[in-house]
Amino acid sequence: MADATTAPRRVARFDDEGLVTGEAVTLDVRPASALIRAGGTAIDVLLTIVLLLGLLFALSGLSVDAAAFRAIIITGLVLCIVVIPTAVETASRGRSLGKLALGLRVVRDDGGAIGFRHAFIRALVGVLEIYLTFGGLAALVGFLNPSSKRLGDIMAGTHAQVERVPKLPSTAFGVPAELAAWAPLADVARLPDPLARRVASFFVNAPHLVPDSRRRIAASLAAEVAAFVSPLPDADPELFLAAIVALRRERDLAALRLEDARMTALEPQLTARPVGFPRR
């Protein structure tokens, strides 16, 4: 059996379904596109230029010789281009001001937070691909790479992901008024998961279906759901499905609240020290 030193290293990868870790677990993340990454980088570069101009303005009031001036300028360049970006990304776990403004974060390829090594490699390679080539090399590699990585990301084993996602509108609805009198008397069993997913998918896609297809699919689903309902109401198939979805949601929520109340009541007994057990 291979031990920890000889076992092969599992590497995360991107495929058609998203980011897959070395343990074959698909992570629900959104890699940032090259354009949005370019916007965040542009903000960071502008801030770096402002810092350098502030340094030059501060030096203009000092009387130093040429050698000292060159040494200060080189130190300032290294500080603004490499040291400060490395420190900021390390301290903020992958977020600079530009990335914060656009809702981005740099993470490792396995989805974990970056460390000093990753931030330093990115900043060091960024001197070449962002500043020395005026962003041309970074843009070329980013547009050619499937996950929009720049050269620094490839060498550091990182990528940028979008963290600011739009809030999805709620699609929850109640029991239709036509079936309000029937709902308290209805006995609705739990639907099999595949059937429940098909019913939920129907209501998501229903506004985009033509009327004939919408009625046909609703009638087919209602016929399958009818085996789990008693008594059956005399109602339109789509209204019947809407009532079933609303009733199952309300009853599942009531069951979860009851379970939570019971666990809360049992918590003192579950966490208490057994009688006579020594305190350690």
173: its two tokens: 């609805």
Structure tokens at 41: 């980088």
Considering only 52-61, 91-100, 212-221, 241-250, which range has the smallest mean pLDDT? 52-61
Q: Which residues contact 194 (CB under 8 A, 6 or more apart)?
A: none
- The pLDDT > 70 percentage for the chain reads 87
Question: How far is the C-alpha of 160 from the C-alpha of 153, rounded, in Å?
Answer: 8
Separation of CA 273 from chain center: 40
Q: What is the pLDDT of residue 2?
A: 44
Give pLDDT, residue 9: 46
Q: What is the predicted pLDDT for the residue at 27?
A: 53
Average predicted confidence (pLDDT) for the chain: 84
Would you state the pLDDT for residue 147? 84
Cα maximum dimension of the chain: 95
* Contact indicator for 92, 104 with CB cutoff of 8 Å: no
Helical axes 84-91 vs 116-126, angle rounded to 10°: 150
DSSP β-ladder status, 18-20 and 26-27: antiparallel
Residue 123 has a pLDDT of: 93
pLDDT above 50: residue 7:
no
**Model pLDDT for residues 65-95, shown as the tens digit of each residue:** 788 888 888 888 899 999 999 999 999 988 8
User: Average pLDDT in the 192-216 region?
Assistant: 91
Question: Is pLDDT above 90 for 220?
Answer: yes
Average pLDDT of the segment spanning 224-238: 91
Q: Please determine, for residue 22, whether its predicted confidence score (pLDDT) is greater than 80.
A: no
With 0-12 CB in 10 A as exposed, 13-18 as middle and 19+ as buried, what is 14?
Answer: middle
pLDDT at 1 over 50: no
Q: Which residues contact 164 (CB under 8 A, 6 or more apart)?
A: 102, 103
pLDDT digits (tens, 9 = 90+) for 139-175: 999 899 888 899 999 999 998 988 876 666 666 778 8
Q: Tokens for 92, please give them.
A: 């903020």
- Highest-scoring range by mean pLDDT, 21-30, 68-77, 230-239: 230-239
Model pLDDT, residue 216? 94
DSSP class of residue 186 equals -
Domain borders along the chain are: 13-162, 177-270
- State residue 27 phi and psi, 5-degree precision: -95, 140
The closest alpha carbon to 242, from 192, 188, 193, belongs to 188
Whether 17 has a pLDDT exceeding 50, the answer reads no
Question: Can you tell me the distance from the alpha carbon of 84 to that of 122, in angstroms, rounded to the nearest whole number?
Answer: 12
Tell me the C-alpha to C-alpha distance, in Å, between residue 240 and each of 180, 212, 249.
11, 17, 14
First to last CA, the chain: 38
Return the closest-CA partner of residue 40 out of 94, 86, 84, 82: 94
What is the average per-residue pLDDT within 97-119?
Answer: 90
Q: What is the pLDDT of residue 155?
A: 93
3-state class (DSSP) for residue 273:
coil
> Which one, of 143, 110, 113, lies nearest residue 33 by Cα?
143
- Please state, for a pLDDT cut of 90, what percent of the chain lies above it: 39
